[in-house]
Chain A
Amino acid sequence: MKVFIDAQRCQGHGRCFSLAPSVFGFDDLGNGHVLGDGVVEGESLALARLAEANCPEHAISIGES
């Protein structure tokens, strides 16, 4: 599976990189982004799902890689 952040929706709430720092990073404005190629499985998929379920802007999505 692959995780995405919609940069148009992200407002920098910071939930993703706080809950899943191995999956998400942040830029100098504090907006979240996906680390590496965004492919997630097992533990990292579970963390990505947790972040998705906590993003107030619904900016995170997880789809087929």
Chain B
Amino acid sequence: MTIKPPVSDFATDWDHTDPQWVNDPYPIWEDLRTRCPVAHTDRYGGAWFPATHAGVSAVANDTEHFTSRTVVLGNGRPMEDALPAPIGVAPPITSDPPFHQIARRLILPAFAPGPINALEPMIRQLCNDLLDRVVGRGVINGGSDYAQFIPPAVIKRMLGFPEADEDLFREFVHIVLEGIDLPVEERIEQFAPIEEYFRIQIEDHQAHPRNDLTTFLLNAEILGEKLSIEHVFGTMVLILVAGIDTTWSALGASLWHLAKNPDDLARLVNEPDLMPFAIEEFLRFYAPVTMARLVKEDMEYLGCPMKQDDWILLGFPAANRDPEVFERADEFIIDRRENRHLAFGLGIHRCAGSNLARLELRVAIEEFIRRYPRFTLADPAQVTWAQGQVRGPRSLPLRVA
């Protein structure tokens, strides 16, 4: 890890890997909302952070002035050997219009409610198997014993990857999302084993086609032409990376909340009809994901002098706590009835996996509280949070007995 100077002022020198931001970003965002409301930093080659719902919405809906060419903020800019805009390295999340819609329509049916809801029994079984493994223990880790295993198992099945590779997936996700402080050369080096792993999976599926997303992508056509291998590879990486620590983080944060708030836990146990509203409030209050864009050309925007290739970090979690849009925005209200949160983004890049994420979150919480209707934080000091653009507790010791 590179040693960086501590942040002097988040308004002019913000860094989303700063320990203060990683551990508790909400007071920082609240301060920025009233003071800026668009913060700037010279770090990462120049980046902006709109802290209001209005600012985040404006950028998320503006594909004319911003490109999604890369969405993970880092020290470099898109590598020269990457697929150029409008396709980008991991379509469709890195794609711009008009190609974006074509690439997105290709994968949306696999993540539509029908096929996703069919996964419910498998996910429920998986959750119970995980809880069976730790039965009898007084303290279990909501992150490393439970939440971290659920999304990779589902994604593995959807992509048709071998058993026992899930630890590897988590390592890949860590590299892609948390290795952002590294110099560009080192980061390219880190990506090599990921590329190799996917190359082997693609070759295996070419030789042995089967009923999964990898084979689907290999057979898929756009305007009568098969997808390039780079496109297939990019979409597979996207599904793996976007499908794992996002939901793992949302689930961990939800368990963390319930451990600290026995009244909310009791209500959820006793009033199962609350679940749909509780899920959305977990997603609003603890939205794990922020996404980046790049400025296309020098311009004045939201009152800021933006330069070409400056980053914009879309703080959906910050927008979700903007009092301009949400009543009692800084309070968790488990039965909040009106909740237009942006946890899955806004506009054409709405998280394609949101139906899957909600299903995993709901089933995993249901099974956990069914098994443990009362649990608390075993040791608040042991709770650690992931840094970068996906935020959630990684270690979460819970006292269950």
The residues of A with any CB-CB pair to B shorter than 8 Å are 11-15, 17-19, 26-30, 50, 53-58
Given contacts A13-B350, A14-B354, A14-B355, contact A29 B340 (CB under 8 A): no
User: For the complex, what is the distance from the CA of A49 to the CA of B105, rounded to whole Å?
Assistant: 29
Does the CB pair B347–A12 fall under 8 Å?
A: no
Interface residues on B, range: 20 to 34
Does the CB pair A54–B350 fall under 8 Å?
A: no
Within 8 Å CB of A13, what residues of B?
Answer: 344, 350, 354
The reply on B271 being an interface residue by CB < 8 A is no
Within 8 Å CB of A15, what residues of B?
Answer: 280
User: For the complex, what is the distance from the CA of A12 to the CA of B348, rounded to whole Å?
Assistant: 9
User: For the complex, what is the distance from the CA of A13 to the CA of B353, rounded to whole Å?
Assistant: 10
User: For the complex, what is the distance from the CA of A34 to the CA of B355, rounded to whole Å?
Assistant: 19
Q: Is the interface of A mostly helix, strand, loop or mixed?
A: loop
Does the CB pair B346–A28 fall under 8 Å?
A: no
Total inter-chain residue pairs, C-beta < 8 Å: 54
The smallest beta-carbon distance between A30 and chain B, in angstroms, is: 4
Does the CB pair B108–A12 fall under 8 Å?
A: yes
Given contacts A29-B112, A30-B355, A56-B341, contact A11 B348 (CB under 8 A): yes
Given contacts A12-B350, A13-B344, contact A54 B112 (CB under 8 A): no
Q: Is the interface of B mostly helix, strand, loop or mixed?
A: helix
* Chain B residues numbered 26-68 whose CB sits less than 8 Å from any CB in chain A: none
Does the CB pair B338–A54 fall under 8 Å?
A: yes
Within 8 Å CB of A27, what residues of B?
Answer: 112
Within 8 Å CB of B323, what residues of A?
Answer: none
The reply on B328 being an interface residue by CB < 8 A is no
User: B111 touches which one: A30, A50, A55 (CB < 8 A)?
Assistant: A30
The smallest beta-carbon distance between A54 and chain B, in angstroms, is: 6
7 A-B pairs closest in CB distance: A30-B112, A11-B350, A53-B338, A29-B108, A56-B340, A28-B109, A26-B113
Within 8 Å CB of B339, what residues of A?
Answer: 54
Within 8 Å CB of A58, what residues of B?
Answer: 340
User: For the complex, what is the distance from the CA of A56 to the CA of B109, rounded to whole Å?
Assistant: 21
Some 28 contacts from A to B, beta carbons below 8 A apart, are A11-B346, A11-B347, A11-B348, A11-B350, A12-B350, A13-B344, A18-B276, A18-B358, A19-B276, A26-B112, A26-B113, A27-B112, A28-B108, A28-B109, A28-B114, A29-B105, A30-B108, A30-B111, A30-B112, A30-B113, A50-B337, A53-B340, A54-B280, A54-B340, A56-B341, A56-B342, A57-B347, A58-B340
User: For the complex, what is the distance from the CA of A55 to the CA of B344, rounded to whole Å?
Assistant: 12
Residues 199-212 of chain B: 1 if any A CB is under 8 Å from the residue's CB, otherwise 0? 00000000000000
Does the CB pair B276–A55 fall under 8 Å?
A: no
The smallest beta-carbon distance between B68 and chain A, in angstroms, is: 14
- B57 closest partner in A (C-beta): A56
User: For the complex, what is the distance from the CA of A49 to the CA of B350, rounded to whole Å?
Assistant: 22
Within 8 Å CB of A55, what residues of B?
Answer: 340
Given contacts A11-B347, A29-B108, A54-B340, 13 further A-B contacts (CB under 8 A): A11-B346, A11-B348, A13-B354, A14-B355, A18-B276, A27-B112, A28-B114, A30-B111, A30-B112, A30-B355, A50-B337, A53-B338, A54-B339
